[in-house]
Structure 1
Amino acid sequence: MNGIIDFFRYLMEGFGLNDVLDILITAFVVYKILGFIRETRAQQLVKGLLILVVAYFISDFLDLDVINWLLRSAFTFGIFALVVVFQPELRRALEFMGRSKFGVGRIGQVDKDRAMHVVDEITNVADYFSESKTGALIIFEREITLEDISETGTYIDAEISEQLLGNIFYEGAPLHDGAVIIRGDRVYAAGCVLPLTENKNLNKSLGTRHRAGIGISEKSDALVLIVSEETGIISIAEDGKLRRFLDKRSVEKTLLNLYITDEQDAEKNRLGRIGKLFSRTKSGTSGKEEKDA
Structure 2
Amino acid sequence: MIDFGVKDIIDILLVAVLLYNTYRLMRESRSLNVFVGIMIFILVWVFVSQVLEMKLLGAILDKLVSVGVIVIVVIFQEDIRKVLYNLGAHRRIRTLVRLFSPKRVEEKDAAKVKKNIMPIVMAAMSMAKGKVGALIVIECNMPLNDIVATGEVIDAAVNQRLIENIFFKNSPLHDGAMVISNHRIKAAGCILPVSHDLDIPKYLGLRHRAALGMSQESDALCVIVSEETGGISIARNGHLKLRLSAEELESTLTDLMKA
Q: Give the shorter-chain TM-score range.
A: 0.7 to 0.9
Q: Report the CA distance between 1:223 and its aligned residue.
A: 0.7
| Aligned residue type for 1:93 | V
CA distance in 2, matches of 1:235, 1:93: 26
CA distance in 1, matches of 2:232, 2:60: 50
Judge which range, 149-158 or 29-38, deviates more: 29-38
Q: Report the CA distance between 1:23 and its aligned residue.
A: 8.6
CA distance in 1, matches of 2:209, 2:70: 31
The corresponding residue for 1:82 is 72
The secondary structure found in structure 1 opposite 2:132 is: coil
Structure 2's unaligned 5+ residue stretches are 99-104
For the structure 1 residues 159 and 83, does the alpha-carbon distance in structure 2 shift closer, same or farther, using more than 3 Å as the test?
same
**Number of aligned positions between the proteins:** 245
| Aligned residue type for 1:86 | F
The corresponding residue for 1:249 is 247
Listed one character per residue, the Cα deviations across residues 51-76 of structure 1 (whole Å, up to 9, x for unaligned) are 4445567788997x8xx779937545
Structure having the higher Rg: 1
For the structure 1 residues 167 and 42, does the alpha-carbon distance in structure 2 shift closer, same or farther, using more than 3 Å as the test?
same
For the structure 1 residues 62 and 188, does the alpha-carbon distance in structure 2 shift closer, same or farther, using more than 3 Å as the test?
closer
After superposition, residues 251-266 of structure 1 pair within 5 angstroms as: 251-261=249-259
Q: Report the CA distance between 1:164 and its aligned residue.
A: 1.2
The corresponding residue for 1:208 is 206
CA distance in 1, matches of 2:122, 2:141: 26
After superposition, residues 173-252 of structure 1 pair within 5 angstroms as: 173-252=171-250
Q: Report the CA distance between 1:50 and its aligned residue.
A: 2.9
For the structure 1 residues 54 and 31, does the alpha-carbon distance in structure 2 shift closer, same or farther, using more than 3 Å as the test?
closer
1:49 counterpart = 2:47: no
Structure whose residues are more often helix by fraction? 1
After superposition, residues 146-161 of structure 1 pair within 5 angstroms as: 146-161=144-159
| Aligned residue type for 1:79 | V
The corresponding residue for 1:91 is 81
| Aligned residue type for 2:35 | V
The corresponding residue for 1:165 is 163
1:113 counterpart = 2:106: no
Does the 8 Å contact 1:108/1:260 carry over to 2?
A: no
CA distance in 2, matches of 1:178, 1:55: 49
The secondary structure found in structure 2 opposite 1:121 is: helix
The secondary structure found in structure 1 opposite 2:242 is: strand
The secondary structure found in structure 2 opposite 1:138 is: strand
1:40 counterpart = 2:45: no
Does the 8 Å contact 2:107/2:258 carry over to 1?
A: no
Listed one character per residue, the Cα deviations across residues 98-122 of structure 1 (whole Å, up to 9, x for unaligned) are 4362468xx9885321211222222
Listed one character per residue, the Cα deviations across residues 107-165 of structure 1 (whole Å, up to 9, x for unaligned) are 98853212112222222221222222111110111111112211222222222222111
Q: Report the CA distance between 1:241 and its aligned residue.
A: 2.0
Judge which range, 145-154 or 168-177, deviates more: 145-154
Judge which range, 181-190 or 31-40, deviates more: 31-40
User: Could you tell me which of 129, 132, 135 is aligned with 1:131?
Assistant: 129
1:101 counterpart = 2:91: no
CA distance in 1, matches of 2:108, 2:151: 24
The secondary structure found in structure 2 opposite 1:41 is: coil
CA distance in 1, matches of 2:154, 2:49: 64
Does the 8 Å contact 2:23/2:35 carry over to 1?
A: no
Q: Report the CA distance between 1:91 and its aligned residue.
A: 2.2
The secondary structure found in structure 2 opposite 1:145 is: coil
TM superposition score normalised by structure 2: 0.76
TM superposition score normalised by structure 1: 0.68
